């Protein structure tokens, strides 16, 4: 793996490196860790990389890595930069034959998203988007239960992602994460809805297998002087007649990272909380509620295949993140060996999920500004 971004002082870069390394399937061999060449060099020292494999820019990294013998060069790049620096390295990597893992959202705007989608289709290269919450075993259990008809036909979906860390104008304090996430030049047209609303949208579509067809959004910026939204409430229409509600907020004072989802079918409802990820509640219409646990007996293969340790040993954020990297690595290794990985490991978010996320951002903001409100997705 070669990494773009994620140098000294970065948050998500460290998460990606830990997740990629967890199963011993992926080795970090090179990187362009910062737009500042000196900071990239120092970060490379931190990661014990040889100076010759630490680059001053992603352009230099991709060009020089391509010239190395196939047995020595990186196999793929991991892009962990702010949103506005996703497109360039992803495009160049694909055009030079390298597979890609990219942090979400996919890129800066729909034009870039459509081009990347076309490029992935043309090259046939692997592309994973790190919607990491899809990696939890109990999320995969919920998805399998919906797909197998256990809860009947889905009627209603309620998904929310409240945080409170931007309840004040934290970006004025010099806090790096707040600074770029509230800057339209780096984050794009959306704030909270792009940063965490896309996670909620992706989780709803992933678990249910349904696609949003229409939405009606009420978008707000509560903190005075902030340039992007920090709160949003969205009514959703899905295909096959299901309806839903999505709420994403970064000014919900006191909330930590409380992503949760409820899916109601004709026979039962499912409920999952990211802050208690090893538990899935199944609320039956005609019998007592079931509590399913990670590592427990009777789970679907999709959940069991993404569980590493016995029941009662908590698995959390890093393990879920690692499931995306592990599945990507299994598929890439199989491809390099001329084989096909088992179907259960083809389960990671794709460039197409990234396009859906960019569409969601665009339509939510358009609806928020419109007096008509309902916007076709």
Per-residue pLDDT reduced to its tens digit, 311-346: 999 889 999 999 999 999 999 999 999 999 999 999
- Same domain, yes or no, for 104 and 139? no
Sequence-separated (6 or more) residues with CB below 8 Å from residue 377 = 211, 212, 213, 214, 215, 359, 360, 363
pLDDT digits (tens, 9 = 90+) for 340-376: 999 999 999 999 999 999 999 999 999 999 988 899 9
- Same domain, yes or no, for 55 and 200? no
- CA pair distance 93, 79, nearest whole angstrom: 10
- Same domain, yes or no, for 212 and 253? yes
- CA pair distance 348, 101, nearest whole angstrom: 10
Domain presence at residue 335: no
- Same domain, yes or no, for 97 and 184? no
* Phi (first) and psi of residue 248, to 5 degrees: -135, 135
CA 310 to chain CA mean position, Å:
26
Structural domain boundaries enclosing 292: 135-310+355-376
- Domain closes at, from 88, 113, 129: 129
Among 283, 308, 284, 276, residue whose Cα is nearest residue 295: 308
pLDDT of residue 329: 98
Domain presence at residue 329: no
Domain presence at residue 330: no
- CA pair distance 170, 223, nearest whole angstrom: 10
Domain presence at residue 331: no
How are beta strands 268-273 and 279-284 bridged, if at all?
Answer: antiparallel
Residue 264 to residues 267, 284, 368: CA-CA distances in angstroms? Answer: 8, 10, 27
- Same domain, yes or no, for 88 and 172? no
- Same domain, yes or no, for 174 and 277? yes
- Same domain, yes or no, for 160 and 124? no
pLDDT exceeds 90 at position 155: yes
Among 29, 79, 77, 36, residue whose Cα is nearest residue 54: 29
Structure tokens at 262: 């409820």
Residue 151 to residues 51, 267, 268: CA-CA distances in angstroms? Answer: 55, 5, 5
Helix axes 198-208, 137-147, angle to 10 degrees: 50
pLDDT of residue 2: 98
- Domain closes at, from 83, 112, 129: 129
First to last CA, the chain: 35
Question: In b/e form, how buried is each residue of 153-190, taking b as 16+ CB within 10 angstroms?
Answer: ebbebbbbbbbbbbbeebbeeeeebbbbbbbeeebbbb
* pLDDT level of residue 42 (50, 70, 90 thresholds): very high
Domain presence at residue 227: yes
Instruction: Give the mean pLDDT of the chain.
Output: 97
pLDDT exceeds 90 at position 9: no
- Same domain, yes or no, for 115 and 144? no
Domain presence at residue 12: yes
Among 75, 202, 237, residue whose Cα is nearest residue 129: 202
CATH number of the domain encompassing residue 15: 3.40.50.720
pLDDT of residue 58: 98
Among 38, 97, 47, residue whose Cα is nearest residue 73: 97
CATH number of the domain encompassing residue 139: 3.30.360.10
Contact 74, 30 (CB under 8 A): yes
CA 131 to chain CA mean position, Å:
2
Count of other CB atoms within 10 angstroms of residue 291: 10
pLDDT digits (tens, 9 = 90+) for 274-286: 999 999 999 999 9
Structure tokens at 85: 């620096």
Strand, helix or coil for residue 87:
helix
How are beta strands 231-238 and 260-265 bridged, if at all?
Answer: unpaired
Structure tokens at 42: 């120092």
Domain presence at residue 274: yes
Instruction: Report the number of distinct structural domains present in the chain.
Output: 2
- CA pair distance 325, 348, nearest whole angstrom: 8
- Domain closes at, from 90, 114, 129: 129
- Same domain, yes or no, for 51 and 189? no
Domain presence at residue 347: no
- Same domain, yes or no, for 151 and 35? no
- Same domain, yes or no, for 241 and 173? yes
- Same domain, yes or no, for 32 and 50? yes
């Amino acid at each position: 793996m070669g990494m773009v971004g994620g140098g000294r002082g970065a948050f998500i870069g460290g998460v990606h490196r830990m997740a990629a390394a967890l199963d011993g399937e992926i080795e970090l061999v090179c990187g362009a860790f910062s737009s500042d060449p000196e900071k990239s060099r120092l970060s490379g020292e931190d990661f014990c990389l040889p100076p010759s494999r630490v680059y001053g820019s992603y352009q230099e990294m991709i060009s020089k890595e391509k010239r190395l013998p196939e047995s020595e060069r990186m196999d793929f790049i991991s892009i962990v930069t702010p949103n506005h620096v996703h497109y360039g390295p992803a495009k160049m990597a694909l055009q030079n034959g390298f597979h890609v893992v990219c942090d979400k959202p996919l890129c800066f705007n729909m034009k870039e998203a459509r081009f990347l989608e076309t490029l992935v289709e043309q090259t046939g290269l692997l592309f994973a988007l790190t919607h990491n919450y899809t990696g939890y075993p109990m999320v995969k259990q919920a998805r399998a239960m919906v797909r197998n008809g256990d809860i009947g036909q889905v009627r209603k979906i309620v998904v929310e992602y409240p945080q409170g860390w931007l309840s004040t104008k934290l970006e004025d304090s010099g806090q790096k994460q707040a600074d770029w996430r509230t800057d339209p030049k780096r984050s794009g047209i959306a704030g909270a809805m792009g940063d965490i609303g896309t996670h909620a949208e992706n989780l709803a579509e992933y678990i249910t297998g349904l696609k949003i067809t229409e939405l009606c959004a009420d978008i707000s910026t509560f903190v005075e002087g902030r340039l992007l939204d920090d709160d949003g409430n969205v009514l959703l229409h899905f295909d096959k007649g299901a309806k839903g509600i999505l709420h994403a907020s970064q000014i919900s004072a006191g909330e930590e990272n409380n992503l949760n989802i409820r899916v109601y079918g004709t026979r039962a409802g499912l409920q999952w909380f990211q802050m208690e990820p090893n538990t899935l509640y199944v609320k039956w219409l005609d019998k007592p509620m079931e509590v399913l646990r990670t590592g427990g007996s009777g789970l679907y293969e999709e959940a069991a295949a993404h569980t590493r340790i016995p029941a009662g040993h908590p698995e959390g954020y890093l393990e879920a993140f690692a499931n995306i990297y592990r599945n990507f690595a299994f598929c890439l290794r199989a491809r390099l060996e001329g084989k096909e990985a088992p179907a259960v490991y083809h389960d990671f978010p794709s460039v197409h999920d990234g396009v859906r996320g960019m569409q969601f951002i665009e339509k939510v903001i358009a609806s928020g500004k419109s007096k008509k409100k309902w916007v076709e997705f």
